Amino acid sequence: MNLSRTLAVTKRVFRDVKNDKRTLGLIFIAPIFAMFVFGLAFSGNVEDVTTIIVNHDQGFVLPNGENLSLSDKVTSNLNTSVMNIQYMDSEDAAVKKVTDGEAYAVIIFPENFTQNAYIALNPTITSNSINSGTSITIRDDESVVNIKNAILGSVADALTTTMTDQGINPPIKVNTDPVYGQNAQFIDFIVPGIMAFIVYLLTTLLTLLAFVGERTTGTLERLLSTPIQESEMVGGYALAFGSIGIIQALLVLLVGILVFKITVLGNVFLAFAVVALLAIVSQALGILLSNLAKREGQAVQFVPFIILPVFLLSGVFWPIQAIPVWLRPLSYLVPPTYAVDACRSIFLKGWGLGMVWPDILALILFAALFLILATWSLKIRKD
């Protein structure tokens, strides 16, 4: 393999890219645009959910003469940024609003709620009207899981706060002492995956389309008729599009840190190295796939096979642990899986090279494998 010929191919690729405005847009504008779209879409919290409260509670007069209403106190402790609270007297009418899509949930406090709850927590007090099984009923639309969890979480927090304010100690408490990810938000979880997804997608597509374009214009055949070897051709493209992929990796990393303020506990340069390595893997995959297409129309047909496995299996949008067990081994055949895992570990756990090296090694092996296969397939096609 002659280094000067390899660099000559790289130089020619950069010259062609410089003269193609659409390709320049795909290199510099597309990753920033994609990061903003994904980042804004996944950075928000559930807010302003229409919730109706139906309160049948009559309150309870304490032995000291105080009139206590636990239902009012729970209601006052609900998170009003999550819930847009409305009040109704009719339970049926309130549930109908959920049925008609005008509200997401109805919180129902039963009659004697305060009395039964207070007496249950004070066994020294006896009452003939005590009704075991006192509870709050929530009639909600659970078709959107995030909204359901936000409502249930707000009610649970309000109950805990109310009991604490009343000096009531639940028999069992759960104390959390996070080892990793303390105060982490959903955006901190999702952005490392988005970064890997964008770099993988754009670098693979850019390399695939560019290499196929060389073939359709006849440039590839003319180059291969010169003393340039297949390995030098692949190496030249690898240097060019690997460098472009590294630039894209830097852009998405900067947007994630500077714009979305994601948590970064570890070495940001190590995270950049991981994403840059994924870019090299992606361009190698693009070259390999390009050898299977004769024209750009055929290259576009590979897009679903490029996107869907990563979207579904790599842990970008939900954990690999949530994937069915029988399907989970396929996740480890998708290169972005390792980049996503490494970036999250660096950002949220503060891990260094000593902990993420298995992911880095896997990406290096993928890059080597794809480049070898690309060189071999190009040689087979030439022969």
Residue positions counted in the chain:
383
Tell me which of 121, 139, 165 is where a domain ends. Answer: 165
Q: At what angle do helices 230-254 and 21-43 cross, to 10 degrees?
A: 40
Average pLDDT, the chain: 82
Dist. CA 83–CA 212, nearest whole Å: 53
71 shares a domain with 9 = no
Q: Rounded CA gap, 18 and 25, in Å?
A: 11
pLDDT for residue 328 is more than 50 = yes
CA distance 182 to 42: 19
pLDDT of 338 strictly over 60: yes
Residue 146's CATH number: 3.40.1710.10
Same domain, 85 and 194: no
Higher pLDDT, 174 or 179: 179
Q: Check whether residue 233 and residue 264 sit in a common domain.
A: yes
Domain that holds residue 314: 3-43+182-382
Looking at the fold, whether 161 and 196 belong to one and the same domain comes out as no
Spatial distance between the Cα atoms of 61 and 45, rounded to a whole number of angstroms: 39
Chosen domain end from 105, 140, 165? 165
Per-residue pLDDT band for 43 (boundaries 50, 70, 90) equals: low
Percent of all residues in the chain with a pLDDT value above 70, rounded to a whole number = 91
| Together in a domain, 38 and 55 | no
Residue 54 has pLDDT above 50, yes or no: yes
- Whether residue 175 is contained in a domain is answered as no
Note whether residue 331 is domain-resident: yes
Reported confidence tier of residue 224, pLDDT bands at 50, 70, 90: low
Whether residue 174 is contained in a domain is answered as no
Same domain, 287 and 214: yes
Q: Which of 134, 165, 196 is the last residue of a domain?
A: 165
pLDDT in tens, 126-169: 555 445 447 889 998 887 677 888 888 888 888 888 888 877 76
Asked if 13 and 57 sit in the same domain, the reply is: no
Residues 142 and 38 in one domain: no
Tell me whether residue 120 is in a domain. Answer: yes
Per-residue pLDDT, 12: 74
Q: What are the tens digits of pLDDT across the range 274-326?
A: 988 998 898 888 888 887 777 777 777 778 888 888 888 888 887 887 788 88
In degrees, rounded to 5, the angle at the alpha carbon of residue 120 between the alpha carbons of residues 119 and 121 is: 90
Same domain, 55 and 39: no
